[in-house]
Structure 1
Amino acid sequence: MTAVAVIDRAAFARNVRRLVERAAPAEVMLAIKADAYGHGMLDLAPVALAAGARSLAVLEIPAALALREAGIDCRLFAWLHGTGSDFAAAIAAGIDLGVSAPWQLDAIASAASTARPARVHLKIDTGLRRNGALPEQWPALVRQARELAETGRIVIDGIWSHLADASVEADDAAIAVFEAAIATAEALGVSPPLRHLAASSAGWREPRARFDLVRFGIAAYGVSPFDDRSGLDLGLEAVMTLRTTVMDAAAPSGRSWIAAGYADGVPAAAQGAEVSIDGHRCAVEAVEVDRTLVVSPPSVEPGAVVTVFGEPAAGVPSAEDWARWSRTIGDEILTGVPARVPRSAVG
């Protein structure tokens, strides 16, 4: 067999339930952006909702529309917009829209009507500088939104932001900016029902950041948002396991080629990386486009199952191990498994 990504729905559901319990009484909005971090958005969306998530977040409108077309009827939130974004389709599908700038408010209001108003969440930049109104721009954005709400074309449903998660001190400063933005909006007559700031990191460790809902992302897939604790340390389970087999190909003595390479999501620049064959941790020596050379255990046979990453509780390398070897984050390892690798859902 060539590489296959095994997706454990039951493990995902257990992770989501753990996060729901952790965040309570705040709601959980489960982030399934980037095709659920490469796990399969349409497959895992109903699992997340059944496990207790109240809403779902994606980056762009087309992903939200695909969820609606698949029958997902919960609150959907999309926040990354360009000038060509189809706001009319999003409004017709009842998708909540993040708003970072005045032009977005104008475009969304133009696509809406009093019969079908748009639901918007206004974003304040609390220091990440990803998008959102800067504090000095915030009052003007709130006034503009209030005026448009008075026309009946939009409904202001939320105030939100992202945290940089650089440190506890940085998060504390960002929370203060967020709370000040909420107070400013209230003074201007805008008090929406939802306030959301935290994602996986602050959602786990900082109750003050949870407000009305937490947008958990990577933690739901079993990867820790922290440098000093693994997903396993947090009681989370790996959801994706990348497997392949030993190839029937010539290799130097004591070495074997496995049927997965960097075109299958095996990072080529990892230093000190290992895979697991028949319970043995095997050092990686070279990664090519569609095969990888490893130091193999004694008497290994072609066709033996190889676990590249996943199932750290079973002693095999994790996505977090590969992230450390590659000097990156677990998110990149998971989303780096391309669409050409088939997904096989279990559980």
Structure 2
Amino acid sequence: MSLTSGYRQQGFVPLDAPGDFERLALIDLDALEYNVTRIRSLIGGRELVAVVKADAYGHGAVDVARSALAAGADALGVVHVREAATLRDAGIKAPMIAWLHTPRTDFELALRLNLQLGVSSLWELEKIAAAAQTATPSQPVLLHLKVDTGLGRNGVMLADLEKLAARARAYEVQGLVKVRGLFTHLAVADEPQRPETASQSAEFDRALMIAENAGLTPQVLHLANTPATFTAADLQQEDALLRDSVRVGLGLYGLSPLPGVSPQELGLRPVMHLQTFISSVKEVPAGQGVSYGLHYVTDQPTTLALVPLGYADGVPRVATGGPVRIYPAGAEPRTYREVGRIAMDQMVIDLGAPGLSDPALGYLGAPAVLFGAGQNPPVTDWAQAAGTINYEIVTRISPRVPRVSVGGSWRNDTTER
């Protein structure tokens, strides 16, 4: 049985033979393309920037980028220039924006890669212009000025925007740069009723006026992230929030940014499925302590199962009671809770009854899914167990866990890689 059919028909990847994946993050690219189509339905003809920073939130940037573009994304968004270099090295030629720089950023590389660049400060603009002066062949670098409208992170303050805009216009006149866009980042769009989002939109309008007064003519205005993209219509703020372009990250991956709202309610399909196989099953008496610190002690004779995933694989050590769905060959699938402290390489679940170590019951080697689609636990359950957000859970899954992508309309064949 293939990885694709096993996952989609049964909710897990089967154990076929020694040497197959012992643990994997299966990436369903068809689900990702479905999500892109869903997002496009919300934004109409506006530009869609698919945010694939941080290795596509842990999903694998190259394959995700290919699928996002195939499904209708107009451009790709990354944070660092070196993230963009990885995509260019893979042969991806689509428009690409990188917006977070340090004094050690290689802007000459950025120009060779034909990147559009976010600019949050005067020092960035000066370094970009200097790189443009030596570029061969010389062509204007497309810039997006980023303004801080209230988030307090990177982005130029409105009090300093006039000076930055004037300097950018001077470089435009010299033919070194072209300010294509103006953008900001929303602070509380995941709490739609809060007034700060409207205030940020108003500040953004003031920033646009300052830029235009300096002689700049940005053609692309963007401030909406995933939560703003999904709530703008309900708030009757499509024009104020969606503008000319939206930058969507989390929604691509089928995850909800809105507390209490599931991906299904937003019309999204989860893309990552994290799985391994039970590596040990043993009987223990009542009073058996489990894992470091012995914070969990069995209250009756029972069966413990070992799940070979731990914090070295990106599962948060602080998580308590995270769900694991087990698919034993000789019994109905069931979701159990992790017990005891999560270790570097493993965690334990209490199967709740003695006698389950009998090989005929099929627990040893059974697929164990921490999160996925369908009847598998959602990522949000692990986020709640760890006291964090779903963004962090998927992004922190470590390179030790192979990413195995399936589907994707851009493939010329059915090869799974």
TM-score by length of 2: 0.80
Q: Is residue 5–residue 344 contact of structure 1 (8 Å, CA) maintained in 2?
A: yes
Letter in 1 for 2:310: G
- Pick from 164, 167, 170: which aligns with 1:147? 170
Provide the C-alpha distance between the structure 2 equivalents of 1:188 and 1:259, rounded to a whole number of angstroms: 59
The reply to whether residue 275 of structure 1 matches residue 301 of structure 2 is: no
- CA deviation vs aligned residue, 1:205-238 (integer Å, no higher than 9, x gap): 1222111110000111011111121212211111
RMSD over aligned Cα, in angstroms? 1.5
Q: Is residue 254–residue 268 contact of structure 2 (8 Å, CA) maintained in 1?
A: yes
Provide the C-alpha distance between the structure 2 equivalents of 1:248 and 1:99, rounded to a whole number of angstroms: 53
State the partner residue of 2:15: none
The Cα shift of 1:301 comes to 2.1
State the partner residue of 1:66: 86
- Trace 1:320-331 onto structure 2 (pairs within 5 A): 320-331=380-391
Letter in 2 for 1:112: A
The reply to whether residue 103 of structure 1 matches residue 103 of structure 2 is: no
Provide the C-alpha distance between the structure 2 equivalents of 1:43 and 1:333, rounded to a whole number of angstroms: 20
Provide the C-alpha distance between the structure 1 equivalents of 2:264 and 2:380, rounded to a whole number of angstroms: 10
The Cα shift of 1:85 comes to 0.7
State the partner residue of 2:196: 170
- CA deviation vs aligned residue, 1:231-268 (integer Å, no higher than 9, x gap): 12211111000001111354533221112112122222
Provide the C-alpha distance between the structure 2 equivalents of 1:199 and 1:186, rounded to a whole number of angstroms: 24
Further displaced range: 139-148 or 262-271? 262-271
The reply to whether residue 85 of structure 1 matches residue 110 of structure 2 is: no
Provide the C-alpha distance between the structure 2 equivalents of 1:86 and 1:93, rounded to a whole number of angstroms: 11
Provide the C-alpha distance between the structure 2 equivalents of 1:263 and 1:92, rounded to a whole number of angstroms: 36
- CA deviation vs aligned residue, 1:20-73 (integer Å, no higher than 9, x gap): 111213111000000001110011111000101000000100111221221211
The reply to whether residue 209 of structure 1 matches residue 235 of structure 2 is: no
The Cα shift of 1:187 comes to 2.1
SS at the partner of 2:224? coil
Q: Is residue 323–residue 336 contact of structure 2 (8 Å, CA) maintained in 1?
A: yes
Provide the C-alpha distance between the structure 2 equivalents of 1:184 and 1:6, rounded to a whole number of angstroms: 47
Q: Is residue 281–residue 363 contact of structure 2 (8 Å, CA) maintained in 1?
A: no
- Assess, with a 3 A threshold, how the Cα gap between structure 1 residues 144 and 188 changes in structure 2: closer, same or farther: same
Provide the C-alpha distance between the structure 2 equivalents of 1:268 and 1:251, rounded to a whole number of angstroms: 25
Provide the C-alpha distance between the structure 1 equivalents of 2:172 and 2:95, rounded to a whole number of angstroms: 20
Q: Is residue 99–residue 122 contact of structure 1 (8 Å, CA) maintained in 2?
A: yes
Q: Is residue 100–residue 122 contact of structure 1 (8 Å, CA) maintained in 2?
A: yes
The Cα shift of 1:102 comes to 0.3
Letter in 1 for 2:26: V
Further displaced range: 36-45 or 228-237? 228-237
Provide the C-alpha distance between the structure 2 equivalents of 1:254 and 1:270, rounded to a whole number of angstroms: 21
Provide the C-alpha distance between the structure 1 equivalents of 2:377 and 2:179, rounded to a whole number of angstroms: 45
Provide the C-alpha distance between the structure 1 equivalents of 2:253 and 2:315, rounded to a whole number of angstroms: 18
SS at the partner of 1:233? helix
Report which of the two structures shows the higher radius of gyration computed on alpha carbons: 2
State the partner residue of 2:55: 35
State the partner residue of 1:309: 371
Number of positions where the alignment pairs a residue of Structure 1 with one of Structure 2: 345
The answer for unaligned runs of 5 or more in structure 1 is none
The Cα shift of 1:116 comes to 2.3
The answer for unaligned runs of 5 or more in structure 2 is 1-20, 233-237, 285-301, 328-332, 408-417
State the partner residue of 2:220: 194
SS at the partner of 1:197? strand
Q: Is residue 281–residue 303 contact of structure 2 (8 Å, CA) maintained in 1?
A: no
TM-score by length of 1: 0.96
Q: Is residue 308–residue 346 contact of structure 2 (8 Å, CA) maintained in 1?
A: yes
Provide the C-alpha distance between the structure 2 equivalents of 1:12 and 1:28, rounded to a whole number of angstroms: 14
Provide the C-alpha distance between the structure 2 equivalents of 1:320 and 1:213, rounded to a whole number of angstroms: 28
The Cα shift of 1:310 comes to 1.0
SS at the partner of 2:195? helix
Deviation beyond 4 Å, 4+ runs, structure 1:
none
